[in-house]
Amino acid sequence: MVKLIDGRQVARVLNAQTQTRVAALRKQGIVPGLAVVLVGHDQASERYVRMKEKKAQSLGIYSVLKQLPADSTQAEVLQTVTGLNQDPRITAILVQAPLPPQIDATQVFGAIDPAKDVDGFHPENVGKLYLNLPGPYPVACTPRGIMTLLAANQVPLQGANVVVLGKSAIVGKPLAALLLNAGATVTVLHSQTKEREAFLSAADVVISAVGQAHLLTDADFQPHTTVIDVGQNLDENGRLVGDVDYSEASVNIEQITPVPGGVGPMTIATLMQQTVEMSEWSK
Ligand code: GUN
């Protein structure tokens, strides 16, 4: 029997802790403020952003959405970020990716005040993570949420062979750094990787962040593998699925995060956690 790693349950516990911390800050007259910048009308992004706003409000976090047209210029996006950097009600800024093609995302993330960079995408925060400097500083929310989920399920990482599929700046790269810092032996596979099979069949933990339905099946893994599925894909029938096909009959996958209900709720809960922490750090 494949065990399901319940992200909703861990997220619920984390959100309850966050709500308590927000209440404590509010007693001291401090209100965490999250600003989300959304450029354009990407459907998935609009859905995520709505969920983030709703969750923030339910936990007592002040929440603002800055929605800009799809044809915004670089200067307009930068101006929005600068305005939020200077707004004392805003303690955490998130610019939703992906950005339209005319926007230089690296420059936009680099324009966010590192102390308000709730995504941990600013080069200063990325550098701290890579150097494994002592905190506190913000770390990309999906990778951090995955680390919380692995810890909550007592998945050993020290000396473990961990394979990450995908090398994005949002998931693959920061996740590899966190895993390395936790003592794992980390291999990052990507579209140009040769002989993916050899790496997968030696992995204790596989984390897939590719975004391709049916990318992996049970036969790709060795027995007792823990699988974390970051994929959010629509299959042929329009159903939300991850990157990994599995069933009750799977023999190699020991435990896996379902989609939906695995990594997704952890990303949002970690964003809320980090929003509150950033208010606590800057007290
Ligand atoms: N797009 C997909 N995931 C994320 C994320 O964690 N942060 C931001 N800003 N954009 C995203």
The 10s digit of each residue's pLDDT in 123-180 is: 999 999 999 999 999 999 999 999 999 999 999 999 999 999 999 999 999 999 999 9
Pocket perturbation via mutation, ligand 1, pick of 142, 168, 178, 271 by most ligand atoms within 8 A of CB: 142
Domain-embedded: residue 101: yes
Inform me whether the pLDDT recorded for 283 exceeds 80: no
> Are both 78 and 149 inside the same structural domain?
no
> Are both 254 and 163 inside the same structural domain?
yes
Domain-embedded: residue 281: no
ipTM of this predicted complex?
0.95
> Are both 73 and 160 inside the same structural domain?
no
Give the tens place of pLDDT for each residue, 47-74.
999 999 999 999 999 999 999 999 999 9
Whether the model clears a pTM of 0.95, i.e. scores above it, the answer is yes
> Are both 107 and 48 inside the same structural domain?
yes
pLDDT confidence band for 213 (50 / 70 / 90):
very high
For residue 96, report the distance from its CA to the centre of ligand 1, in Å. 5
For residue 36, report the distance from its CA to the centre of ligand 1, in Å. 10
| Per-residue pLDDT, 196 | 97
Quote the CA–CA distance of 254 and 3 in Å, as a whole number: 6
Domain-embedded: residue 17: no
Give the mean model confidence (pLDDT) for residues 235-254. 97
> Are both 256 and 175 inside the same structural domain?
yes
Domain-embedded: residue 161: yes
Q: What is the CATH number of the domain that holds 81?
A: 3.40.50.10860
Query: Is any atom of ligand 1 closer than 6 Å to the C-beta of 119?
Result: yes
For residue 249, report the distance from its CA to the centre of ligand 1, in Å. 34
Parent domain of 111: 28-120
Copy the structure tokens of residue 102: 């005319």
Query: Is any atom of ligand 1 closer than 6 Å to the C-beta of 34?
Result: no
Our answer to whether residue 235 is catalytic in this structure is no
